[in-house]
Amino acid sequence: MPEVIFGNHSLKQVGESCVRLGAQHVLIVSDSGVMNAGWLNLVIESCQEAGLSYVCYHDISTNPKDIEAERGTVVYRENQCDAIIGVGGGSVIDIAKAIAILATNGGRIADYEGVDRIDIPLPPLVMAGTTAGSGAEVSQFSVIVDLERKKKMTIISKSLVPDIAIIDPMTLSTKNSHLTASTGLDVLTHAIEAYVSIAATPMTDVYAKNAITLVAENLRPSTATQLNSQAKSNMAMASLHAGLAFSNAILGAVHAISHAIGGRYPMMHGDLNAVLLPHVMEFNLLANPVRFMEIAELLGENVTGLSAMEAGRKGIENVKQLSFDIGAPQRLSDMGFEEHMINEISQIALKDACMITNPRDITAQDVEKILQKAL
């Protein structure tokens, strides 16, 4: 895990954090949403106060693409930068990490798909997450779309863990209800998949369990209004803890399938997870009923007198109700996904690195059935 700076107004510490890492010329990676909300200006002011020279790059899509990383690398090199700041959600931070890879290791970003393929150390990374969703500011993941193959590449390496993560809950006050719901259910997916992962440990369990409880208690009020600062702060903490959990325990079939869809079609990652999560939970329940019973309890369900399987099903229903209450999409078809896409997506999903830690063995036919139910 990185050094973590958490709290209101912590964005003001970005510049000083870079100085502590020895930076002088920084590349600031962001996007139009963060710029329009005014948060990028705070980061620039922080850099100016710290005496840093800087250049900005913000040509980034919702599902970040390989060519965007390549363009950012050109900006980094042309301006002789020596550190990278990412200010935004998962897309921004994933691109910032990808630029760091290419700036030091060269080649194409597709060369680094998979696990532990980065050889040369990266420049200092200071990541400021602004969405309470992806957890990318503390994780060893970068997920980038390969335009030629039309697939999301999952890059996993300890080298991608930022040096410093800055989480300012105030940034959540400018998110609309849809984005709050989408990113919040991404947090819940991270926590649940990490908790049932075959790579889960006592350490990751602590973070995953706390994240599940925080989401259950705070996502509804956080979605309901932009003014509930306590709910926003708690969701930011939930995202942080879920990020630490999944970065170390990895994920599962929800993310493998959503990566497969997102690489082919322009659909929001959090929305895809929201639809897929209960269906994958139903599939995985058989593999570890006790864990799913514990998830139900963390979500607030009374499971007294129930078998583990019965309790686990109550937890799944709880997730469905939460998703409905906050207005998240309920079907893949609501997002434009069609039946003819199922076979291709199933084959792609099986090859995603996140499938390795799914608690139940899964085949292409299983993925097809999950997608049919979610359609």
Q: What is the pLDDT of residue 62?
A: 85
CA–centroid distance for 52 within its chain: 29
Residue 342: which of 287, 279, 264, 290 has the closest Cα? Answer: 264
Q: How many other CB atoms sit within 10 Å of the CB of residue 144?
A: 28
C-alpha distance from residue 11 to each of 19, 51, 52, 172, 334 (Å): 14, 16, 15, 12, 36
Q: What is the pLDDT along the chain (375 residues), one digit of tens a residue?
A: 999 999 999 999 999 999 999 999 999 999 999 999 999 999 999 999 999 999 999 989 888 999 999 999 999 999 999 999 999 999 999 999 999 999 999 999 999 999 999 999 999 999 999 999 889 999 999 999 999 998 999 999 999 999 999 999 999 999 999 999 999 999 999 999 999 999 999 999 999 999 999 999 999 999 999 999 999 999 999 999 999 999 999 999 999 999 999 999 989 999 999 999 999 999 999 999 999 999 999 999 999 999 999 999 999 999 999 999 999 999 999 999 999 999 999 999 999 999 999 999 999 999 999 999 999
Which of 182, 93, 98 lies closest to 137, judged by CA?
Answer: 93
Query: What is the per-residue pLDDT for 278?
Result: 98
Given this model, what pLDDT does residue 141 score? Answer: 94
Q: What residues form DSSP beta bridges with 65?
A: 145
Q: Report the alpha-carbon distance of residue 114 to residue 100 in Å, rounded.
A: 17
Cα 304 to Cα 307: distance, rounded to the nearest angstrom: 9
Distance of CA 238 to the CA centre of its chain: 12
Cα separation, 173 vs 180, whole angstroms: 10
**Distance separating the N- and C-terminal Cα atoms of the chain:** 37
Q: Is the distance from CB of 85 to CB of 29 less than 8 angstroms?
A: yes
User: Residue 83: exposed, middle, or buried by beta-carbon count in 10 A (0-12, 13-18, 19+)?
Assistant: buried
Question: Looking at the whole model, is its pTM more than 0.85?
Answer: yes
DSSP β-bridge partners for residue 151 = 146
Helix (H) or strand (E) holding 28: strand 25-29
**Structural domains in the chain, sorted by start:** 3-171 (3.40.50.1970), 175-374 (1.20.1090.10)
